Structure 1
Amino acid sequence: MEPTGHYGYNLANWLTGKGKSVVMVNPATTKRNKENRDNSPSKSDPKDALVIADVMSRGYYYEYTRQAIVFLQRLWSKLFCSLKLLHTLLAYQ
């Protein structure tokens, strides 16, 4: 899917909550591909779906991870680094 503001993320969160895999494509990549496809920047739902499928088939996508999971992973990483720093500081007192 191509992220479309908070609507795309809401749908992606709902799908991943139901156990479905979700991948995202960069809107800039689809825009360039759309113009290359037929030398026209025209926009339509069928053309957009075709362009997104083409971009994905070429491997230009990333796997979507629920935002809460990403937040917790970053929080854990910061906590781990802080504990490691504290351990190092205490070791050299």
Structure 2
Amino acid sequence: MLSKGVGTVFGEVYQIPDEQWPELHAWEEYPNVYECAQHQLEDGRWVWIYRQADAEESAMPRRATGHNEGHSATGFGCQLKTKANHKNRQ
């Protein structure tokens, strides 16, 4: 899982239908363990990613962050049309 910092990760970008956001947030343990943030890919696209929440914001145990080298296309999350769409799901 992504942690704040410097580096790159392998990833995939998915377009998530609006009705699937609640289930995806539950799966990712958002917002207790992971937070959702926007990130710009090298190709210019903006995507939402799940990354490890700040330690002081989460009382739940952390998962290992895994391998995060070798590729610049960050994207564990989803591609959305606007920020406003995501805010409605929180």
Query: Structure 1-normalised TM-score?
Result: 0.22
Which structure dedicates a bigger proportion of its chain to helix? 1
Which structure dedicates a bigger proportion of its chain to strand? 2
Query: Structure 2-normalised TM-score?
Result: 0.23
Compare relative contact order (CA 8 Å, sep 6+) and give the higher one, 1 or 2: 2
